[in-house]
C-alpha cells in the first residue's frame, strides 16, 4: 500500500477517531506532508519508538503507541510471562499521560497488568520500579532531550535495562507483524481497574528508590561538614527531576539548593529553551545567571526524563563557571567513586568500569590507575546494563561504575539505565568532599588532567531530515566503509573498526580480527597519539554524528588539538554533502 492509499485508509476507516481525521483533512493539499507521515511505519527500533506527535503511520499517536504495545504484549504472552505485569512511567511532554494510559489499556486488554505511576517520574525510577515490582517489562513515555514536537516510547525488560538481544528483535518482529491497526486491543480504564489489571503506583516506589540512592553515599562526614556551606543551583529544565533531585539533596543535608524558577515546573513546550538538552549552553543561561547572583559552587541541570546531567562548576581562581562535558563529569565521578571506595571499603578483585565506544579514553587511564577492569560496549546505556546482568548471571565480575559521553552514568545497580538523580547526589557529595580539602570540583578536574593527561573529546553532528536525509546518512557511512581513511587531521589511522562487518583491521599489517560486539552501523578509527574518530547515525534523531578525541599536554594544547581535528572533521563532512 503506497502512502496515498494509507492516508485515504486513515481518513475512511471508522476505527480512527474524528480528531485524527480532522487533522489529516487539514493536510489534504500538502502531498509532501502526507508522504512524510505515511510513506513508512514509525520504526520500532532497539529502544522503542521516537517521533513527531501527529496523525500518521510515521508519527507518534495513540494508534502507533497501541500497535507497539500490542506487539510487546504478544511477545510477553509468547514468552509465558503475562502474569508478571509491566511498569509504566512518563515525563512532562505533550501527550505523555495519554500515551501511558493507551499502553496500559492495551496491556490490560491482553490480560497483562499495568502498574502506572500517578504522575510524571524520571527514567531511572522506572528502571528501578521494573525490578522492585518484579515486572516482566517496563514502558517509559519520553523523548528525552528532543524538541517539544517529539515524544517517545522506551521499552525495558525485567532486568531494568532497555531491551537488548534477543528481546529487542523478538519484540520488533511482533510489532512489524501487525499490519492491521484494527487488530490491536484496548479496553476502558474503569474495566481495566475492575479487572485488577491497572494499578496506580507512586509514593511507596519513590521512598524505596530514594532509600537505594542513599546507600551509595560514601562520605556522609563530608556532607555533614560542608553540606550547609555548599551552594547549588539546579534546574529540572521543565521535566521530571525537580521533586526527586531536591528531595535527595535536602534529606542528605545540602541546605543551599537554589532552583531556577523559570524552569522549575513541568511544561511540554519547554518555553525557556529551543530544546531541553543539558549538553547545550542555552539550557544554562538562566542557571548561570542565578549562580552569579548567589555565588554558587556548582550549577546542575537534568533533562526532561532525568537520566542525563549537565554541569557547570566554579573556578575560584578566575571566578568563571567552567562547563563539564559528559566525558568530564563522567570521569570526575568515576575517579571520585573508585578512589573513595578503594580508600574506605576497598575495591573488588574482579571490579569493572564500563564505558561506551564513543566515551573518553581518560576512562581507560582511570581504570588502569586503580587496577580495575575496563569493558567497552556499543553506544547506549542498555549495553552497560547488559554487562551488569551478565555479572549477576555468571557470578563473575562486579560493577564498579559505568558511564557514556552523553551526560549519563549509573552509581550502584538499583537501576539499569542512566540516573541523573543519583549523579546529582554524587556530584554534590564529591563537591562537599573536595571542599573539605580546600578544593573545588574544577580543582579536582585539573588534578585529574595532571595525573592522567589532558584528554579532550568532542562531537560534530549534522542534521539530515526526511527521506532524502536518511539516504544521505547511509551514503556517508558507505563512503567511509568502502574507502577507509589512512590519515585524519595529521594523525595516522592505526586501526579501522567496522562494527557492522564485525571487523578490526590493523592498518600496518592488514590483519583483521573481530570486534566482539553486536552488529551496529558504526565506524571507528584508532589514531596515533591516543586520538580517535567514530562515525555513527544517531539512534534518536535524524543526524549523523562524528565523535572524536585527543590527548594534550595542557588545557591550551588540548584545546588547540581538538579544534584542529574538529575543523578537519567538518571539512570531511562538507566534501560529502
The residues annotated as belonging to the active site are: 144
In this structure, are residues 28 and 8 in contact, taking their beta carbons and an 8 Å threshold?
no
Closest CA to 399 of 354, 358, 355: 354
CA dist., res. 31 & res. 99, Å (int) = 28
In this structure, are residues 416 and 405 in contact, taking their beta carbons and an 8 Å threshold?
no
Closest CA to 114 of 206, 187, 43: 187
Segment holding 130, helix H or strand E? helix 123-132
Those residues with Cβ within 8 angstroms of residue 543's Cβ, 6 or more apart along the chain or in another chain: 461, 462, 463, 464, 473, 537
User: Residue 489 region, left (φ>0) first, then alpha (ψ -120 to 50), else beta?
Assistant: left
Instruction: Give the angle subtended at the CA of 299 by the CAs of 294 and 303, to the nearest 5°.
Output: 135
Q: How far, CA to CA in Å, does 180 sit from each of 13, 39, 95, 156, 319?
A: 11, 16, 23, 25, 62
What are the cell numbers at 154? 522506551
In this structure, are residues 352 and 372 in contact, taking their beta carbons and an 8 Å threshold?
yes
Looking at beta carbons, which pairs linking 463-466 to residues 24 or more positions away fall under 8 Å? Answer: 463/541, 463/542, 463/543, 464/542, 464/543, 464/544, 465/542, 466/36, 466/542
CA dist., res. 85 & res. 198, Å (int) = 10
Closest CA to 237 of 405, 122, 117: 122
Can you name the residues that pair with 550 across neighbouring β-strands?
A: 456
CA dist., res. 434 & res. 218, Å (int) = 13
In three-state secondary structure terms, 346 is coil
In three-state secondary structure terms, 507 is coil
CA dist., res. 327 & res. 359, Å (int) = 6
Cis peptide leading into residue 155 (ω within 30°): no
In this structure, are residues 522 and 481 in contact, taking their beta carbons and an 8 Å threshold?
no
CA dist., res. 122 & res. 205, Å (int) = 12
CA dist., res. 478 & res. 373, Å (int) = 34
Amino acid at each position: 500500500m503506497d502512502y496515498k492509499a494509507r492516508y485515504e485508509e486513515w481518513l475512511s476507516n471508522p476505527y480512527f477517531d474524528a480528531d485524527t481525521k480532522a487533522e489529516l483533512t487539514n493536510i489534504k493539499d500538502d502531498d509532501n506532508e502526507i508522504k512524510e507521515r505515511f510513506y513508512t511505519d514509525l520504526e520500532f527500533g532497539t529502544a522503542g519508538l521516537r517521533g513527531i506527535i501527529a496523525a500518521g503511520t510515521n508519527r507518534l499517536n495513540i494508534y502507533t503507541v497501541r500497535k507497539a504495545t500490542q506487539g510487546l504484549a504478544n511477545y510477553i504472552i509468547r514468552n509465558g510471562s503475562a502474569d508478571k505485569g509491566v511498569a509504566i512511567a512518563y515525563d512532562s511532554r505533550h501527550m505523555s499521560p495519554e500515551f501511558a494510559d493507551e499502553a496500559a489499556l492495551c496491556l490490560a486488554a491482553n490480560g497483562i497488568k499495568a502498574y502506572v505511576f500517578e504522575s510524571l517520574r524520571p527514567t531511572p525510577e522506572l528502571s528501578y520500579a521494573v525490578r522492585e515490582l518484579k515486572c516482566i517489562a517496563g514502558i517509559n513515555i519520553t523523548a528525552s532531550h528532543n524538541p517539544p514536537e517529539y515524544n517517545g516510547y522506551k521499552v525495558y525488560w525485567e532486568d531494568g535495562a532497555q531491551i537488548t538481544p534477543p528481546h529487542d528483535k523478538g519484540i520488533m518482529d511482533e510489532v512489524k507483524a501487525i499490519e492491521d491497526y484494527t487488530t490491536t486491543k484496548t479496553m476502558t480504564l474503569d474495566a481495566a481497574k475492575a479487572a485488577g489489571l491497572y494499578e496506580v503506583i507512586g509514593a511507596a516506589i519513590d521512598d524505596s528508590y530514594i532509600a537505594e540512592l542513599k546507600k551509595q553515599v560514601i562520605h556522609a562526614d563530608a556532607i555533614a561538614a560542608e553540606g550547609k556551606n555548599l551552594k547549588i543551583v539546579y534546574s529540572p529544565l521543565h521535566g521530571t527531576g525537580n521533586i526527586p533531585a531536591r528531595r535527595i539533596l535536602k534529606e542528605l543535608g545540602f541546605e543551599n539548593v537554589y532552583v531556577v524558577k523559570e524552569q522549575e515546573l513541568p511544561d511540554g513546550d519547554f518555553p525557556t529553551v529551543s530544546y531541553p538538552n543539558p549538553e547545550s549552553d542555552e539550557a544554562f543561561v538562566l542557571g548561570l545567571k542565578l549562580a552569579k547572583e548567589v555565588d554558587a559552587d556548582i550549577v546542575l541541570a537534568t533533562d526532561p526524563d532525568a537520566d542525563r546531567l549537565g554541569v557547570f562548576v566554579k573556578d575560584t581562581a578566575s571566578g568563571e563557571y567552567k562547563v563539564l562535558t559528559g566525558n568530564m563529569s563522567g570521569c570526575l565521578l568515576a575517579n571520585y567513586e573508585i578512589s573513595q571506595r578503594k580508600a574506605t571499603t576497598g575495591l573488588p578483585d574482579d571490579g569493572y568500569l564500563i564505558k561506551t565506544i564513543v566515551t573518553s579514553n581518560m576512562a581507560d587511564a582511570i581504570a588502569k590507575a586503580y587496577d580495575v577492569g575496563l569493558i567497552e560496549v556499543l553506544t547506549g546505556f542498555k549495553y552497560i546494563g547488559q554487562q551488569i546482568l551478565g555479572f549477576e548471571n555468571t557470578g563473575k565480575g562486579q560493577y564498579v561504575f559505568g558511564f557514556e559521553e552523553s551526560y549519563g552514568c549509573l552509581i550502584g545497580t538499583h537501576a539499569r539505565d542512566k540516573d541523573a538523580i543519583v549523579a546529582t547526589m554524587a556530584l554534590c557529595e564529591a563537591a562537599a568532599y573536595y571542599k573539605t580539602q580546600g578544593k573545588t570540583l574544577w580543582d579536582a578536574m585539573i588534578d585529574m588532567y595532571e595525573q592522567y593527561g589532558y584528554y579532550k573529546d568532542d562531537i560534530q553532528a549534522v542534521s539530515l531530515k526526511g527521506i532524502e536525509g536518511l539516504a544521505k546518512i547511509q551514503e556517508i557511512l558507505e563512503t567511509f566503509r568502502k574507502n577507509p581513511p589512512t590519515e585524519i587531521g595529521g594523525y595516522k589511522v592505526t586501526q579501522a573498526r567496522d562494527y557492522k562487518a564485525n571487523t578490526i583491521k590493523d592498518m600496518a599489517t592488514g590483519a583483521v580480527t573481530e570486534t566482539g560486539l553486536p552488529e551496529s552501523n558504526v565506524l571507528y578509527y584508532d589514531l596515533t597519539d591516543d586520538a580517535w574518530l567514530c562515525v555513527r547515525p544517531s539512534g534518536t534523531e535524524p543526524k549523523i554524528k562524528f565523535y572524536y578525541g585527543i590527548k594534550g599536554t595542557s588545557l591550551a594544547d588540548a584545546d588547540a588539538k581538538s579544534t584542529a581535528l574538529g575543523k578537519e572533521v567538518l571539512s570531511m563532512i562538507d566534501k560529502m554533502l
